Structure 1
Amino acid sequence: MARKQHWKQFLGASVWSGLSTVARAGSTFVINKLFAVYYGPNGITLLAHFQNLVALLTTLPNAGINVGLIRHLAANEPGTEGYRSFFWSGLWLNLLSFLTGILVFVLFPEFFLERFGGTTSEVANHFSLWWVLGLFALLLLQLFWLAVLLARQALKLYVGLSLLTSLTSIGVTWWAVGRVDLTVALVLFLTGQSVAGIVGLFAVFKRGLIPPMQVKLPVQVHKELGKFLLMAVAMLLGSRFVDFVVREIAIQRFSLYETGLWQSVAKISDSYTIVYVSVLGMVYYPKIAALLSQPQALREYVRSVFFLLVPLVGGGLLLLGIHREFFIRLLFNEEFLAAKGLMDFQLLGDFFKMTAWVLSYIITVQARVKLYMVTQLGFGMLYVAVVMLLLPSLGLEGLPMAHALSYGVYLLFFLYLFRSYFISK
């Protein structure tokens, strides 16, 4: 009876998540299609590399600080001292992480930017440095406003901002592709992503969610958000940076074209994992956060959601695998059909990954910093090691196979860690 109630609650709450996710997934589909049609596999490779670059700058604030912010703003009413302290601590830490990321890029420009222009001076000309920095700042503001709205369950405004971001991204990219070179098109894509940073300010202000400014903040508040920041550092190094490095390895070993074929498969993966992560982030994460003080209820809820999602995910991925040619043509074009042989291990790895995420979210919400860092960094090193082991003998097929093997180990680890959730007492 409890399981059915949990299923009903989870699916019902997913409706709002679905509206936001449809907008994001639709935007991703159209943008991938435009870059594929106008720039081919080379364009898909550099689009993925650029999005990874954006993720390197946004992971610490969005996957770290903002995740902790959602938890604490949800527990404090606007107007209280706790809400005010966490709001401004979150904003200042966002600014600090942004400046740190920019400093790293300035110190190592060739490593991060050479694929987009060849030389440092060419990259600077293409990217109009101050313009791009301003766009990144607006993007971080947008993500911050979304976290504030989500914490207060202002889902209509949340969905509205998500929809605005999707529409502006599509509009700007639609205008840009075919008119400008690939590097400039990428910068314009970022412009579309950043517009909602300004609109979000007015939305949050009108809602009364911006408290009076506070510069001096309790050390304990920084420590609480710092736990989530440390976990995001592990994600940044073990996931985002590893992805960037593996793509660099692929480009150097093969070519932009061949790497683009592999990236098209990864892009298909991204199109449905966006949906999945959005549902987990908007529905599952807040619920398990609310159940932290009730261990038995938490176990029952996690178990119910796990047994609901695993067959749904497995069935959906199987259906996608059967109709892979249709989806490749739909999302890209016939030039990418050469990638269909890479999908088997990609889909298998995605099944392992999406199943494991149901359990990995638990250590995030529990703020088990050391364990989270060990799993993220350990997985990242494992993935790179398997890639380096398989590429010489298997070539391009070694990349999705490494994905499947690494996430298989990842899933087994979490099944063992949370085995008590599945053993009746």
Structure 2
Amino acid sequence: MPTPVIQPEPRAAVLGRFLRGSAGSAVAVGARTGGALLLNKLLAVYGGAGGLTLLAHFQNLMALFTTLPNDGVHVGAVKYLAPLQAGSGRYRVWLGAGLVLNGGAVLVGAALLLLLPGPLVSVFGAGEGWVGLFLLGLLLLVGHAFVVTVLLAAGRLRAYVGLTVLLSALGPAAVGTVLYLGGSVATALLAYLLAQGLTLLPAAGVAARAGLLPALRGPVSGVALRGLGRFLLMALSVLVFSKAVDFSLRELLIRQFGLAATDLWQAVAKLSDNYTMVFSALMSSVYYPRLAALSGRPRERARFVRAVLALLAPVLAAGLGLLWLLRGWLLPLLFEPRFAAAGFLLAPQLLADWLKLLTWILLFLLTAQARVGRYVLVQGASAVVLGGLLVLLLPHYGLLGAPLAQAVRYGLLLGWCLWYFRQDIRAL
């Protein structure tokens, strides 16, 4: 009996699925953005001198312990869980490996915090009780993120949106309550973490009712641990070749041009960070899970990637172009009137971001296919190219050389991606 031929979805259906998911995720992203703005306002108004600085330091401390689980283990879990039937043997294997690696990451973080408390938490005046509650909150928050990952892998976007809205509301509410009652900023920030971590309870309830958290049996699979461990290497490469490079670039600009001039670049970079965060959240919650689910169907995956590229290339160009037209009004509104002088940096920054966001759409293929070596190599080569471009452009163009270097960097990277993934995009 001949095998039936599965017809791929029409392009309109592919785009419809993507847009419906994006609309739902936009609610979650909006809630996160609103929660962050409210939190900043609370600490600025009621946190006293240094309130915002303490908030930034606390969030950096949280990121130190959650980046590898979130950008490593959870990304890998989506890839391996998305194509599987919940409750199957293979599903349990990957779920168990994810839990073990998350637990290991939390234990390493706890050991680091207990061995080196001074450099990490001394600014909060924290005692042993504070540190213990911080570790509890960290464990709960990592657990919440893992359960949300399971929901995303199963395509439960509505549950993801609801949980994200809840998490975004509880954090500022906890901070506001503690500050209103006269508590310290350090106590308020601890309440912020614990309130977010407590969302593990409703998240686990939703996932359990959906049958996505089956009982685990037997030993942990070494194959699964190695498979998810590769994604930890990807996350580590992002930390080294992205965050460290950004920090070094800022230090370089301060040394060469001073704080006042670097402020102009920082304003443009901050604007870029805001819409990049929105794009990244949408791609991680809608695009990547679908890409992972299509890992065994190259024809449908190619149609999906082409459809998303064809949709987002003009939409992103139009949106970024609108930001450039509004630059004289937008920069003073978001920052201060003096930042209107940063307008000359915006055009190359927007071009760089357009190229970068299109590049990300293609680089998700490396993640979905777990090509760890190539992913790390691309990250490293991209950082080296940026360094070389800065050496060439900064002496000739001054501060303008920084966004110009980014634009050239991502132009070259996008060209390479289009060549490298040509078979994945053209699969018929």
Shorter-chain TM-score bucket reads: 0.7 to 0.9
Tell me the SS of whatever aligns to 1:297. Answer: helix
Give deviations 1:138-185, integer Å, cap 9, x for gaps.
221221111011122222221111001211234345668998998877
> CA distance change for structure 1 residues 104 and 241 in 2, over 3 Å: closer, same or farther?
farther
User: Quick one: distance in 2 between partners of 1:173 and 1:325?
Assistant: 35
Q: How does 1:10-409 map to 2 (within 5 A)?
A: 10-31=18-39, 51=59, 53-101=61-109, 121-122=122-123, 125=126, 128-172=130-174, 190=193, 193-214=196-217, 216-247=219-250, 262-334=265-337, 336-384=339-387, 386-387=389-390, 397-409=400-412
> CA distance change for structure 1 residues 55 and 338 in 2, over 3 Å: closer, same or farther?
farther
Q: CA RMSD in A?
A: 4.0
> CA distance change for structure 1 residues 305 and 76 in 2, over 3 Å: closer, same or farther?
closer
Bigger relative contact order, structure 1 or 2 (CA pairs below 8 A, ≥6 apart): 1
Mapped contact 2:152–2:289 kept (Cα < 8 A): no
Instruction: Name the TM-score, length of structure 2 as normaliser.
Output: 0.80
User: Quick one: distance in 2 between partners of 1:253 and 1:193?
Assistant: 41
Give deviations 1:391-416, integer Å, cap 9, x for gaps.
67766555444433332332222122
User: Quick one: distance in 1 between partners of 2:43 and 2:345?
Assistant: 20
User: Quick one: distance in 2 between partners of 1:172 and 1:254?
Assistant: 41
Tell me the SS of whatever aligns to 2:95. Answer: helix
Give deviations 1:110-158, integer Å, cap 9, x for gaps.
8x75xxxxxx744554994333333332221221111011122222221
> How much does 1:46 deviate?
7.7
Mapped contact 1:52–1:243 kept (Cα < 8 A): no
One-letter code of the match for 1:407?
Y
Mapped contact 1:45–1:260 kept (Cα < 8 A): no
Instruction: Name the TM-score, length of structure 1 as normaliser.
Output: 0.81
> How much does 1:315 deviate?
0.7
Give deviations 1:260-313, integer Å, cap 9, x for gaps.
654443332232223222322232222222333333332232122111110100
Identity %: 38
> CA distance change for structure 1 residues 361 and 155 in 2, over 3 Å: closer, same or farther?
same
Tell me the SS of whatever aligns to 1:88. Answer: helix
Aligned residues: 417
Give deviations 1:369-402, integer Å, cap 9, x for gaps.
1111111222234445555666677665554444
Mapped contact 1:237–1:380 kept (Cα < 8 A): no
User: Quick one: distance in 2 between partners of 1:74 and 1:98?
Assistant: 24
Mapped contact 1:33–1:331 kept (Cα < 8 A): no
> CA distance change for structure 1 residues 369 and 244 in 2, over 3 Å: closer, same or farther?
same
Give deviations 1:179-219, integer Å, cap 9, x for gaps.
89988776665455444234423433444433324472122
User: Quick one: distance in 1 between partners of 2:336 and 2:209?
Assistant: 44
Mapped contact 1:227–1:367 kept (Cα < 8 A): yes
One-letter code of the match for 2:155?
Q
> How much does 1:357 deviate?
1.0
User: Quick one: distance in 2 between partners of 1:176 and 1:330?
Assistant: 30
> CA distance change for structure 1 residues 67 and 82 in 2, over 3 Å: closer, same or farther?
same
Tell me the SS of whatever aligns to 1:78. Answer: coil
Tell me the SS of whatever aligns to 1:292. Answer: coil
Give deviations 1:315-373, integer Å, cap 9, x for gaps.
10110121124433554454654544443332222111101111111111111111111
User: Quick one: distance in 2 between partners of 1:187 and 1:252?
Assistant: 36
User: Quick one: distance in 1 between partners of 2:191 and 2:412?
Assistant: 39
Mapped contact 2:35–2:168 kept (Cα < 8 A): yes
One-letter code of the match for 2:407?
A
One-letter code of the match for 2:63?
A
User: Quick one: distance in 2 between partners of 1:181 and 1:196?
Assistant: 23
Structure 1: where are the runs of 5+ without partners? 114-119
One-letter code of the match for 2:376?
M
> CA distance change for structure 1 residues 254 and 387 in 2, over 3 Å: closer, same or farther?
same
Mapped contact 1:126–1:183 kept (Cα < 8 A): no
User: Quick one: distance in 2 between partners of 1:317 and 1:171?
Assistant: 34
One-letter code of the match for 1:26?
G
> CA distance change for structure 1 residues 423 and 146 in 2, over 3 Å: closer, same or farther?
closer
> CA distance change for structure 1 residues 414 and 96 in 2, over 3 Å: closer, same or farther?
same
Mark the structure with the bigger radius of gyration: 2
